[in-house]
A and B are shown apart, each in its own frame.
Chain A
């Protein structure tokens, strides 16, 4: 019976202990030395296991104080339309967004192709930061053909959700197709959500279709990995 290397096992043990609440959020886990001794590992191996868990956002190391267990991450579901606001509502957190750009632009060749409009048609372009408990979680870009949402100019999208605005315009978002990939932001964009430039983020890209199977929105968001997991349920 061969076994995984010990530090991989340690990672699984620590992961399970945080998952199951034996290590509660906010508490400090045993020191590197204690873990090394308890599991018969070198400090280097312990460090390797801790680094992976820090990367996943389960642990956070505080200079000179030790390694702490962070709170539960948000779970964004990948089966229900409703976007960030719905995710937040399900977690009983007040959704907040900070709009950086809300402006009209020309569709251009790419978004024309994706949204089935002419390259010279107007799109609403929204760039915003999604916050949870005041902390940035994601950077989001949304592209909507302007003719789909007349009156969009006058609506404060920090107050009303884009789904509200579809509703007022008789547009029913019925289906979305999304893909999740791992990506990196450029330094300026990374700073907007409080990241160092070289950290990996989850990139979510998707198109939403309405009751007439018309593409009504393309969105792309970059989510901090230490703040949010993505989950999907399936049924045969």
Chain B
């Protein structure tokens, strides 16, 4: 029987991650000093350092000159619910903030018209917002909503109030189903400056469509998300009658 023994660096990485789990370390909590970790797990310094470097590359840890090795902040965003950003933040004890970057009414070009199954030139609201959690920019969102569905949307408070709440309560729209798709893009200089990341840095590229119960497309949204902060989570279920 073939057996596998993790290489020293892998083993060191597992010790560190197990330590984080067992001690329930939270964002910005500090790991013990390198010397202590080496003694605790019987590792040499260079093995430990290369494990830390891997965990930094994976975004689990960060280091600051003179302040040790700390656990990165991670914001979990559930892809499956229709909970808005602000609702999510409050439910997780974080302070949401929204900066309205652009609110305009645009004519649907051919691509947007086709997406919304509307006529070319129909008016759409275009809402660009920067979403922050505890003061850290996390998402740069651009949403499109047909003006026909939400007349005088410009009079709503989209900075303090939730857009989804306004759609539901003020316009009686039933947000019913949709999809969200994630990939990676690289941030352009402007996007990078909003999100506080390096130009060209990888970022989540998230596109979503939200439909009403009558299958009308209500919102089409494109977001750029910080790779070093955001995790996209979901629960998977077994589909009956299918065999993988």
Contacts and interface: CB of A to CB of B under 8 A. Distances in A.
Q: Is the interface of A mostly helix, strand, loop or mixed?
A: mixed
Interface stretch (B31-39, B150-158, B184-192): B184-192
Contacts of A192: none
B182 A83 contact: no
Contacts of A48: 188-189
Contacts of A233: 177-179
Q: Which of B4, B114, B175 has the most CB of A within 10 A?
A: B4
Contacts of B200: 51
Given A105-B6, A230-B232, A234-B79, A202 B184 contact: yes
Given A86-B242, A174-B238, A234-B179, A200 B188 contact: no
Interface in B186-244: 186, 188-191, 200, 202-205, 227, 230-239, 242-244
A178 B233 contact: yes
Contact of B231 (A181, A200, A234): A181
A225 to B, nearest CB: 4
B104 interface: yes
A157 interface: no
Interface in A217-231: 225, 229-231
B64 interface: no
A108 B104 CA distance: 56
Given A186-B54, A229-B181, A236-B82, A125 B244 contact: no
Contacts of B238: 80-82, 172-175
A81 B183 contact: no
Contact of B2 (A20, A104, A230): A104
Contacts of B176: 235-236
Interface in A114-150: 114, 125
Interface in B87-137: 102, 104-105, 111, 114, 128
A231 B181 contact: yes
Contact of B243 (A80, A163, A202, A230): A163
Contacts of A104: 1-4
Interface residues of A, number: 76
B80 interface: yes
Contact of B239 (A20, A82, A225): A82
B4 A125 contact: yes
Given A104-B4, A108-B6, A163-B243, A182 B111 contact: no
A94 interface: no
Chain B interface residue count: which class? 35 or more
B17 interface: yes
Contacts of A180: 182, 231-233
Nearest to A233: B179
Nearest to B186: A55
Nearest to A228: B183
Given A113-B22, A200-B227, A235-B176, A79 B186 contact: no
B170 interface: no
Nearest to A231: B181
A177 B4 contact: no
Contacts of B233: 177-180
A110 B19 CA distance: 8
A11 interface: yes
A155 interface: no
B80 A232 contact: yes
11 contacts: A73-B183, A81-B237, A81-B244, A105-B3, A110-B18, A163-B243, A179-B76, A208-B236, A231-B180, A232-B180, A234-B82
Interface of B: 1-6, 11, 14-15, 17-19, 21-22, 54, 57-59, 74, 76, 79-82, 102, 104-105, 111, 114, 128, 175-186, 188-191, 200, 202-205, 227, 230-239, 242-244
Interface of A: 1-5, 7-8, 11, 16-17, 19-20, 48-49, 51-52, 55-57, 73, 75, 78-83, 85-86, 101-105, 108-114, 125, 153, 161, 163-164, 167, 172-184, 186, 200-203, 206, 208, 225, 229-236
